[in-house]
Structure 1
């Protein structure tokens, strides 16, 4: 593998982790969105990653959606409440999403560190060639 290969592989990790971060941010932003019980709740997004066919790097191959059933909560004062006083909220667990956020963030940082180290190695090789 060349230095450029390392940068290319790490960039695939950056892309997947960025998509993961985006999905988690979307889930957290919508976790308190109430809907009427006749509508589907917000469906959490989960990024599906897979190793590339070449064996070098990874790709986000899709997004799986969480349950549209959500959870029904008794809130008679909510303007969206049905006749029984119930509304539907997404089934998004904040603690789980924060854990996902930390893992995605750490993965992104690790991939960025690989790019930085490969770049430094390439610059050092150029410097040796100039002398």
Structure 2
């Protein structure tokens, strides 16, 4: 992978922080709506974080949280539910909570790692300035 010459380590760490924050937000949202009934089978709103492959050339605009088109739904027989269809089925987004929890844990750890990298860079820069005095 070739890095753009105008990017600094701080830019890359900043991208990492933004990306992991977006992953946490998407996974949290998906878990929050896991048991929320959908108005119809096609109204799924599960989120996914998408990163452009050329993210190093455009760090500011490379992370997008988007709805997954045609995501799967699960149907549950609940004829008394206000959103039940003619067959008595209510549709819910198909969210794998174990996968979402794993995403939350890994994104949280990666976010912490990026913070440690940033702090290390800051400390190294401070030491370099002290040596240069």
| TM-score range normalised by the length of the shorter chain | 0.7 to 0.9
The residue that corresponds to 1:98 in the other structure is: 101
Unaligned runs of 5+ in 2: none
Unaligned runs of 5+ in 1: none
The residue that corresponds to 2:15 in the other structure is: 12
With normalisation by structure 2, the TM-score equals: 0.79
2:91 paired with 1:70:
no
- Spell out structure 1 runs of 4+ moving beyond 4 A: 53-56
> What RMSD, in angstroms, separates the aligned Cα atoms of the two structures?
2.8
2:47 paired with 1:45:
yes
Q: Distance between the aligned counterparts of 1:66 and 1:30, measured in 2?
A: 16
Count of paired positions: 127
Q: Distance between the aligned counterparts of 1:63 and 1:107, measured in 2?
A: 21
Query: Shift of the alpha carbon at 1:40?
Result: 2.5
The residue that corresponds to 2:62 in the other structure is: 59
The residue that corresponds to 1:31 in the other structure is: 34
